[in-house]
Amino acid sequence: MKILIAISSKEYSGPTLDVGMNIARAIQSSTTIVDVGQKISEFSLKDVSMANEVMESWDIDRPGVDVLEWAYNYLSENQFIEEQALKDGFPKNVLIESGTGRAEVLLKGSALENLSMILRNGDIIKELRDEVNTHEYDLTIIGGSGKRSMAHDMIQYIDSSIFVVNNFNINENYKILLAVDDSPGTAKAVKYGVRVAQAFNIKVELITISKDKHLVEENKKASDYAAKMMRRSGVEAQRIFKTGDPVDTIIETAGTNRIIIMGASSQSPITKFFMGSKPLNVMENCNCPVLIVK
Amino acid sequence: MFGFSARSVSDILFWVTRKKWLILSFLLSISFFYVPSPDGLSPEGHRTLIIVLVALILIISESIPLPGVAILILIMEVILGVDTADGVASSFMSDAVFFIMGSLMLAVSLVHQGLDKRLALLVINITGNKTWSIVLGFVGISAFLSSFIGEHTVGAMMLPVALALIRNAGLSTTQATKLSTLLLFSIAYGCAIGSIGTPSGGGRNVIMIGYLSEFGMAEISYLEWMKFAYPMLIIEIPIVALVLWFTFTPEQKMMDSSVRKLKVKVAKTGKLTANQIMAIIIFILVFLGWIFLSPIIGLGIVALSGVFLYLSFGLVEWQEINRNTNWGVILLFGSAISIGIQMKETGAALWVAEETLYYLEVIFQDIAVVRWFVSVIVTGILTNLLSNAATVAVLGPIILDMGGDPIIMGIMTSIASAFAYLTVVASPTCMIIHSTGLISSSDYFKAGWKLFIISVIVLLMVSTFYWPILL
């Protein structure tokens, strides 16, 4: 399994790294940390790259390297990587161009086999989409800052599961709120639910929402299945049955101290594009971290 | 759906949302194609204007790569019957394109010599350690150098000097402060006002000289251009420094320790190497060539001769030039000039000029004011949206067809195209300083609008009181 963690600035990316690295460690996945920098106009692409080269000869980092260096130090301070993994510290002067607008920090051949750090420049959705498509990540983890404006495009175009680390507080006692119904996405969402619960060692609430009073038989079956999976994996789970509008109910139940996990909508991309979807509405309006499983 | 997988439908949707401007330009071009040609506009002229519209939309939106736009212009010119394939090919290449190509290559060759540390020493020796004099020095030296060697080179070489000073002042080079904003804008705006000074200051000046000569309107030599434009450059240096200082007044009024550290660092690089001396000599030869030989062999050929010397003396590798030259931009300017020439030849430029004069005269009542408005204000606005050379390539033929003295109109347009203060995309140096992450898009407006207005006023004064003496 491969995880992509998108960070943007030192001020806001700590929680994103915490969440991402905890999951990565629990499932022993390989992880890539990416910083997507500003889009450079094509007219000036070469002028900027020439200026960057001159800056290197002055030992001035090219923009973005400082963010990756900060991330590296953050990981080692928080024991996500061994402090002595790289003898001479972060190798900021060793950037390898690996595609148009993509540069990788040379970490290979070190003790950090499962970690890559890359810089990209351009429109964030396009860059993340390219990265996910060419390097086949299973999960993209991103901070909550651009949540509303980017939610639609992320759900629509990024072909991996998406974890938006929105309002995450490391000291909060989180539970997982796992949305369970008869849709095809539920089974995969349950699997992710187990992994995240194990990564953070937290409890799970399985929420099943029906539009009116009587519980649909299929929904009940789905809830039974989820509860069984939790039991087998040794994850403590509690079942909740509610009636009402699914989106509102999930957001209301989640409050600020749940991590919402739900399957992606199975509607056609065109319907989703014009009409939106439940995961999209949840992502746009919730006040807590949310993971949409594709 | 229709046999497509959800993934491919999603791919198509992504393409459509990212390429909406391409699709819009396609739809617009088809609709305009079927609109009957207005009175006074030939069918070829009509179709030429369609190409101009498509090109403008695609360049501003950057929805396809620039070389793609360049190629599309050429294809449309032939398919829409504006000119034959050979005609298009010959209008595509000209001395102005040679010049743009040559000057981009010269920039790579010069930057490659590592002269930036020398330049740093020169700058701080001249300016001393007061922040105010450093700003004035940055603006002045950027303006002076970019007027001869073009802003690409100066931007790339001055940027590290500014960042080194900022770092030596104990400030972060990744977090914006007033000092960082001030110093970086001193470079960008210094380069912008400098680029008007001589024909070699920017590709657009050469494009304008090319149009004036191609249309049989006037021949302007390197020195003549300088006589017109250099005084304005000198007037603008203190103005830019003052406006920047009062817009971004820093807390640090002195930078003595910062300057001292820089001197220590630069001193380690030792004396000029033989290669560096050679590189400077070649550039001086190119400069002399522009002054004395360009009337006979053209500015572009002189620039290319310089590139030839750099290559043959082994001062730069071809791979280096190849890697750092923006071939896409060269293609695009070739196409832009080609479409400019077609606008003139098909009468499209004249038609647009006459229509503009007709409608704007109703508003302004005076034809001289209208000409001034289009050549200065419209150019100034468009240059902030497009690149400045593309602006001159497209607007040049129209403005030259509006009457008035062609030399004044031409130089005025070229100068106004340097008022690229307001946006990130306006000029390469604006983009270079933006790429550091220290300048946000809104910073450009803070000082930019003041400079835009002042520059317009200065240009008005210079063109009214000084230029007529020269003619």
Residue of A37, A55, A157 with shortest CB distance to B160: A55
The overall average pLDDT reported for chain B is 92
CB proximity under 8 Å: A 254-293 to B: 268-270, 273
Size of interface A-B (CB pairs under 8 A): 116
Q: What CATH number is given to the structural domain containing A94?
A: 3.40.50.620
Residue of B65, B156, B436 with shortest CB distance to A50: B156
Residue of B13, B116, B424 with shortest CB distance to A270: B13
Nearest CA in chain A to B151: A47
- Cα–Cα–Cα angle for B161, B287, B110, nearest 5°? 35
| pLDDT single digits (tens) B91-134 | 999 999 999 999 999 999 999 998 888 888 888 889 988 999 99
Domain match, A15 and A155 both: yes
| pLDDT single digits (tens) B285-295 | 999 999 999 88
Range of the domain at A37: 2-165
Nearest CA in chain B to A36: B437
Whole-number pLDDT of residue B2: 57
A253: in domain: yes
Domain match, A253 and A189 both: yes
- pLDDT at B338 exceeding the cut of 90: yes
Q: How far apart are the first and last CA of chain B?
A: 70
Q: What are the angstrom distances between the C-alpha of A90 and each of A84, A109, B245? A: 11, 14, 38
* Residue A46 C-alpha, separation from nearest chain B C-alpha, in angstroms: 5
B94 burial (CB, 10 Å; 0-12 / 13-18 / 19+) is: buried
Q: Are B330 and B101 in contact (CB under 8 A)?
A: yes
* Residue B329 C-alpha, separation from nearest chain A C-alpha, in angstroms: 6
Whole-number pLDDT of residue B118: 87
Domain match, A108 and A184 both: no
Return d(Cα B195, Cα B203) in angstroms, integer: 9
Q: What CATH number is given to the structural domain containing A191?
A: 3.40.50.12370
Whole-number pLDDT of residue A83: 67
* Residue B142 C-alpha, separation from nearest chain A C-alpha, in angstroms: 15
Taking Cα atoms as reference points, which of B311, B295, B284, B333 lies closest to residue B105?
Answer: B311
Count: domains in chain A: 2
Domain match, A12 and A85 both: yes
- pLDDT at B170 exceeding the cut of 60: yes
Q: Where are the alpha helices (DSSP H) in B19-150?
A: 20-34, 43-61, 66-79, 85-92, 95-112, 116-127, 131-149
A201: in domain: yes
Return d(Cα B85, Cα B74) in angstroms, integer: 9
Q: How confident is the model at residue B396 (pLDDT cuts 50, 70, 90)?
A: very high
* Residue B16 C-alpha, separation from nearest chain A C-alpha, in angstroms: 12
Domain match, A139 and A250 both: no
Taking Cα atoms as reference points, which of B200, B201, B198, B219 lies closest to residue B209?
Answer: B219
A66: in domain: yes
DSSP B266-279: HHTT-SPPHHHHHH
Domain match, A118 and A48 both: yes
What is the pLDDT averaged over residues B396-403?
93
Domain match, A157 and A30 both: yes
Boundary-marking domain end, from A107, A132, A165: A165
Percent of chain B predicted with pLDDT > 70? 99
Q: With a cut of 50, which residues of chain A have pLDDT below it?
A: none
Return d(Cα B329, Cα B69) in angstroms, integer: 10
Boundary-marking domain end, from A146, A165, A184: A165
Nearest CA in chain B to A122: B435
What is the pLDDT averaged over residues B423-442?
89
Tokens of A268: 């056609």
A156: in domain: yes
Nearest CA in chain A to B431: A44
Domain match, A102 and A142 both: yes
Domain match, A190 and A105 both: no
Domain match, A184 and A120 both: no
Domain match, A149 and A38 both: yes
Return d(Cα B426, Cα B123) in angstroms, integer: 26
Interface test with A, best of B329, B435, B436 (most A CBs within 10 A): B435
Residue of A55, A270, A273 with shortest CB distance to B1: A270
Q: Are B395 and B379 in contact (CB under 8 A)?
A: yes
Whole-number pLDDT of residue A197: 92
| pLDDT single digits (tens) B360-376 | 988 888 888 889 999 99
Whole-number pLDDT of residue B3: 66
**Chain A positions in Cβ-Cβ contact with residue B164 (cut-off 8 Å):** 58, 60
A294: in domain: no
Which residues, at least 6 apart from B246, have a Cβ–Cβ distance to it below 8 Å? Answer: none
Domain match, A115 and A180 both: no
What is the pLDDT averaged over residues B234-261?
93
**Chain A positions in Cβ-Cβ contact with residue B156 (cut-off 8 Å):** 47, 50-51, 54
A148: in domain: yes
Whole-number pLDDT of residue B26: 95
ipTM: 0.88
Q: How confident is the model at residue B320 (pLDDT cuts 50, 70, 90)?
A: very high
Instruction: Output A57 or B140, whichever has higher pLDDT.
Output: B140
Q: Is the dihedral of CA A62, A68, A74, A77 positive or negative?
A: negative
Nearest CA in chain A to B432: A48
Residue at token pair 């087998």: A232
Boundary-marking domain end, from A165, A194, A224: A165
